[in-house]
Structure 1
Amino acid sequence: MPSRFFSAPPISSWLPITVIGLCLGYAITVLTRLPWWTLFFFAMVWIGIGLKLRWGRPLNARYRKVWPWSLAPLSLWGIYVYLADSFGNVDLGAVFFHLQAGMAEHGGAGKLIIAVVYTLSMLAVLASVTWLSRHDQRWRLTERFLAIGLLASNPLLFGLGQRSAAVVADDADWLDHRYVAPPSSDQEDAPNLLLLYLESIERTYSDPQFGDAYSDLNRLGERGIVFEGVQQMENTGWTMAGMIASQCGVPLMPAGLLHDSQFEPLKSVVPGIDCLGDILAAQGYRLSYLGGASTEFAGKGLFYRGHGFQSVKGKEELERQLNDSEYVNSWGIYDDSLYDMTVDEIRRLEDADDGPWGVVNLSIAGHAPSGFPAQSCLDRQGPFDEQDILYSVECSAWLARKLIDRLEDEGLLDNTVVAIMSDHLTMRVSVWDQLTMLDRENTFMLIGDHLHPQRIQRDATMLDGFPTILEALGLSLEEHRAGLGTSLLSDQETLVERHGFETLNERLREESALQHRLWEGLAPQRRDTDTTPQEQVIETPADQTEEVDIMR
């Protein structure tokens, strides 16, 4: 028989068909809310069709050594499925920012193992597609059309196309025109500030279906102001972005091609704007940051040191203060140890009696996918199954309330505003399907002697946390605004209330001028802009039907 005619043994086609079927079924369950076990149903359907149509062993088979067109598109889809499986929602901004800001000391040993498994699985898929294309002329004819379909449907490429279009967009400064520089005026008898970021502890966990997981935060909320309706806009959905949104009033648009040295890490983070630390430092505040994870990861140390904080401590610095050097996790310091050190830091600042202080703290217990509950929680709640995120949510909430109680009992919160926030909505966890069926909200509450307990329902984003905290501290804001945010303590409309959540995200995808503002000083070339102060911008007919003054 001529060599070009090749009839493979029937059993030889089983393996590539089965590999593709299992991976396809898994991808479908990742990208939908279907339970994991349904992957076997999709795999069996795929295998059944393949056997029925004799994929890989057609009559009069003609073997040809070819390289399929679809290998690269399949690889890109593999990357997207991995990101969706790991984080729930794929945020290209997060990917680009972490590549430039640095991912050292990420603490994700488990993620590395998963990445290796994904890589091996994708190699098996690519080998299977190659085998079928070489042994079945029908696959050779159709897979090039498959390649086009894969490229056209990949959300990664769609997102890249949107960002590329923003470079030449006619209306690429819509957000920048609405940016309001924060105040610089002095204030008397300024209160202290304690800002607690609870990793991934969104207010959605207060829903009754999650039991008592959020109950300790509900109890804390009874002492102060609870803000309901704080949504998560694009480019604010990871830790550094959530911090910048709530401390600078802007979404974190990565430096991208503005960075003057593309192959080196960033040397500063959003240097073109003033943030909470800059404002408070100018008021004479002594500022400290303490976080359980490394400050080297995602530029946290660069951000805080570059925006007015005198003391910045993360995993590397705090490990040296532990009584038990082995009491750490893959990300860093457990929350009970972190909060003990936070109390010590506040005592130090109080004893110095040298003007107001501000302490920003980032917990770690609620970190996806299952959290890092502290030993004190294990002693209180019993054994941890290493899976249920609600166990870690309850731990994080309880430790936060315990910290506030402890500080109040010692008199360390006199004349102090306490802000408690989630840094962002959680990523993929064990109750992901239940969370995504609800209207998800970030945690945001304020506690202080002069703040009357109440619940405020507003359509807002984390951008509005920035001016809200400033007004709670007694600073006077022009039209109750700072950055792109609006104080939720005022009656002024937020950008979401004025324009709608979807419009805000759409405008962000088209924006380039705000990106230039954030990274001013890093761009090798910056387009000329009008340096005259902007007074007020009037809505265009495309924005609204009535001509009124807008929120710049």
Structure 2
Amino acid sequence: MSGRTPRALKRACVILGTVLVYVLIWAGLTTLIAAIGIRHFWGRISVSQMLTNLVSVQTDGGGGSLVWMGLFFVGILPIVITLGIAVFRYYRHRRRKRLGIAPSQQRAPWIGRSVSVVMVMALTIGGTSAFATTVGVGDFIRSASSPYNVADYYKNPQVIDNANKRNLVTIYLESGEQTLADDQLFEKDAFKSLEDATPESEGWQSVDSLQQYNGGGWTMAGLTSTQCGVPLKGASSAIGSAGSSSDDGSSGNYLGGLNCVGDVLGKQGYKNAFLGGANGSFAGKDKFLGGHGYTEEKDLDDWRAMGEPEKNFRSDWGLSDQRLMSHAKDEIDQLHADAEKTGQPFNLSMLTLDTHEPVHIYDYCNVDTKSDVTSVFACSMEQVAGYVNYMKEKGYLDDTAVVIMGDHLKHMSAGDAFHEELDNNPNRSIFNRVWVPGDKKSTSLRPRIDQLNMFPTLLEAAGLELKDHEAGLGVSAFEETVPEGSAQSLPPDQYATLLDSLSSSFYNRAWTGTKPEN
């Protein structure tokens, strides 16, 4: 009995050791393949982006084939390879046993075992390191010990005057980067048609060098930063709070503890509507909009229900910008007519998608450049320009403010175009145009602000005056100076540290709390 126990213990240890080896192989393969895939399709991302975006992709109108590729290469392939290695080793062991080859007869068996151990450890360490670097785990850990907290600088928007409130139209341009207007770098100015439709001579303005906020760079980050005035950090919502909502907003409380554009305008009597070509549930967008005052949202399912033919859709994302702008014309006609009849102003927001890579070439787009991407950008901007001209012809610009801006800079992942032109370009900024009817035409917009400042800018473009012109971490672009003590008054390095800060207590309240009074 005493002799059996050591043998049983030894066998158990061998089995556990073998299982551990295969678990390490699987983990190394999974993290390595995931890192390669993320780098290729999205470039380097953040933990927040991964948790708030990648976990909620949709197979229909929210990534399409990328979802299935991810499921296969990250979810299935590592398991198949690991099982294949296990089966190979099992049958090799049985063959040697059948041939009567004892371990002692093998040539230097310790060499084989050592090489195997080194290879497994290299795969495990290499895979986890590559993944950690790709999603910025080190930055995430450092942000937890930051001396700064967003709560110390956050300003709940307070409307002190609404006598001049007006309609508001906001158009988000997918990957709308100003740099693509440089015809010295690219084959042509992709924004030419939109620039012609929004000339400075008629009163259109722009923020010189509008910056992507530090840590941003994807669509939901662009939407929430410009509509709520804070960096999107979904990961923090789950830290230290057992009752927190999931990071993609699936509980229906997407940053529900914050007042955003739709909330403020809704309390001021506005009707809030949103139009987008993609699946509204992608990345929790519908939860965000529905939880922040938007009572109408039309997306991929709505366009299909309206009878749009399949040729007007791209399989990976959704409806073409040409058809989206056509529906947007009908939408603003109805909203404007209702506003004139009832006196209720409206806030109409929309998001394009044609310029999301890999780009899709619709029949309406004439490719006249070597790079398809340049032509597709130009075609998308022509559709937006046509919409601006439509508003002008209908007289809507007499009582409606318009803000056009990119949702983020163009992605620079391994599979995207224009690395040579953009990778080391020091002058990258977000395209934007601002139209405000009336007395704001003579004011110049404060230059080199980031997306967080667009939150109060949108509210003041709608004719609302805010206390100290502040909302969230931002100060309205219509204000030439920033208040002392605001986040915008911090030196650049300290401001960057603030935006990087995990600010767990703030984001726990933002995701789980109720909206403060404004």
Q: 1-side partners of 2:489 and 2:409: how far apart? A: 20
Q: Deviations over 1:52-84 (max 9, x none)?
A: xxxxxxxxxxxx999475652343132112111
Match of 2:505 among 513, 527, 530: 513
Instruction: Give the structure 2 partner of residue 525 of structure 1.
Output: none
Q: 2-side partners of 1:307 and 1:349: how far apart? A: 19
Q: 1-side partners of 2:353 and 2:453: how far apart? A: 24
Q: Which amino acid aligns with 2:418?
A: V
Instruction: Give the structure 2 partner of residue 198 of structure 1.
Output: 173
Instruction: Give the structure 2 partner of residue 290 of structure 1.
Output: 275
1:179 Cα shift? 0.3
Q: 1-side partners of 2:208 and 2:307: how far apart? A: 37
Which shows bigger deviation, 493-502 or 310-319? 493-502
Residues 1:278 and 2:278 aligned together = no
Instruction: Give the structure 1 partner of residue 5 of structure 2.
Output: none
Q: Which amino acid aligns with 2:229?
A: G
Instruction: Give the structure 2 partner of residue 231 of structure 1.
Output: 211
Please give the secondary structure, in 1, of the residue aligned with 2:375.
Answer: helix
Instruction: Give the structure 2 partner of residue 256 of structure 1.
Output: 238
Contact 1:417 1:446 in 2 (8 A): yes
Relative to 1, partners in 2 of residues 1:499 and 1:104: Cα closer, same or farther, differing over 3 Å?
A: farther
Q: Deviations over 1:149-187 (max 9, x none)?
A: 6545643598445545655x373x522100011123451
Instruction: Give the structure 2 partner of residue 396 of structure 1.
Output: 380
Match of 1:467 among 438, 456, 467: 456
Q: Which amino acid aligns with 2:178?
A: R
Contact 2:46 2:137 in 1 (8 A): no
Which shows bigger deviation, 435-444 or 69-78? 69-78
Relative to 1, partners in 2 of residues 1:282 and 1:400: Cα closer, same or farther, differing over 3 Å?
A: same
Which shows bigger deviation, 396-405 or 457-466? 457-466
Structure 1 stretches of at least 4 aligned residues deviating more than 6 Å after TM superposition: 123-135
Match of 2:336 among 338, 350, 366: 350
Q: 1-side partners of 2:34 and 2:436: how far apart? A: 46
Q: Which amino acid aligns with 1:253?
A: K
Residues 1:301 and 2:286 aligned together = yes
Q: 2-side partners of 1:150 and 1:100: how far apart? A: 20
Q: 2-side partners of 1:497 and 1:433: how far apart? A: 35
Q: 2-side partners of 1:181 and 1:467: how far apart? A: 10
Please give the secondary structure, in 2, of the residue aligned with 1:329.
Answer: coil
1:416 Cα shift? 1.1
Q: Which consecutive unaligned segments of at least 5 residues does structure 1 have?
A: 1-63, 523-530, 534-552
Identity %: 24
Q: Which amino acid aligns with 2:303?
A: L
Relative to 1, partners in 2 of residues 1:74 and 1:502: Cα closer, same or farther, differing over 3 Å?
A: farther
Instruction: Give the structure 2 partner of residue 218 of structure 1.
Output: 195
Report matched runs for 1:153-192 at 5 Å: 154-156=131-133, 159-160=136-137, 162-163=139-140, 169=145, 171=147, 174-192=149-167
Please give the secondary structure, in 1, of the residue aligned with 2:179.
Answer: helix
1:100 Cα shift? 6.1
Relative to 1, partners in 2 of residues 1:80 and 1:455: Cα closer, same or farther, differing over 3 Å?
A: farther
Q: Deviations over 1:399-420 (max 9, x none)?
A: 1111100121121222111100
Residues 1:484 and 2:473 aligned together = yes
Instruction: Give the structure 2 partner of residue 368 of structure 1.
Output: 357
Instruction: Give the structure 1 partner of residue 430 of structure 2.
Output: 442
Contact 1:347 1:412 in 2 (8 A): no
Q: 2-side partners of 1:188 and 1:286: how far apart? A: 17
Q: 1-side partners of 2:58 and 2:488: how far apart? A: 32
Please give the secondary structure, in 2, of the residue aligned with 1:250.
Answer: coil
Aligned residue-pair number: 454
Which shows bigger deviation, 92-101 or 512-521? 92-101
Q: Deviations over 1:13-68 (max 9, x none)?
A: xxxxxxxxxxxxxxxxxxxxxxxxxxxxxxxxxxxxxxxxxxxxxxxxxxx99947
Q: Provide the aligned C-alpha RMSD in A.
A: 3.6
Q: Which consecutive unaligned segments of at least 5 residues does structure 2 have?
A: 1-17, 90-108
Instruction: Give the structure 2 partner of residue 142 of structure 1.
Output: 118
1:341 Cα shift? 1.1
Q: Deviations over 1:122-145 (max 9, x none)?
A: 679868999899984552353365
Q: 2-side partners of 1:414 and 1:329: how far apart? A: 35
1:442 Cα shift? 1.6
TM-score (norm 2): 0.77
Relative to 1, partners in 2 of residues 1:217 and 1:383: Cα closer, same or farther, differing over 3 Å?
A: closer
Q: 2-side partners of 1:65 and 1:475: how far apart? A: 64
Q: 2-side partners of 1:112 and 1:104: how far apart? A: 6
Q: 1-side partners of 2:326 and 2:19: how far apart? A: 65
TM-score (norm 1): 0.73
Q: Deviations over 1:232-270 (max 9, x none)?
A: 234532212211100110111103344546599332211
Q: Deviations over 1:276-304 (max 9, x none)?
A: 11111111112211111121211222211
Query: Relative contact order, CA 8 A, sep 6+: which one is greater?
Result: 2
Residues 1:109 and 2:91 aligned together = no
